[in-house]
Amino acid sequence: MEGNPIMLDELIGALEANGEISITDGTKEMFIQTVDDKEGYSYVSSTNEEFGSSREAVEWAIEKMNGIENIVT
């Protein structure tokens, strides 16, 4: 994934530390939550997409926002 690796790592860190993140591009908003299941942690988006890692979940959300540069903080 191209873009700003520092911001990507910050989003991943926030997801892992807080158990959830919310990102927006100013129009649409996405949520990702951590789920503690029997096999360990997984991640679920507000659109019910499931991910095996926090990095995979955050990269997917950034792609849905058409790039990290479109995310409003």
Residues 24/32, Cβ–Cβ less than 8 Å: no
Q: Would you list the domain boundaries of the chain?
A: 5-66
Predicted pLDDT at 41: 86
The Cα 36–Cα 59 span in angstroms is: 20
Q: Taking residues 30-53, report their average pLDDT.
A: 91
Q: pLDDT band for 1, please (50, 70, 90 cuts).
A: low
Judged against a pLDDT cut of 90, whether residue 53 lies above it is answered with yes
Q: How far is CA 22 from CA 8, 26, 38, 54, in A?
A: 13, 12, 25, 13
pLDDT tens-digit map of 3-39: 565 689 999 999 999 999 999 988 999 999 999 887 7
pTM of the model: 0.86
Instruction: Determine the pLDDT at residue 20.
Output: 96
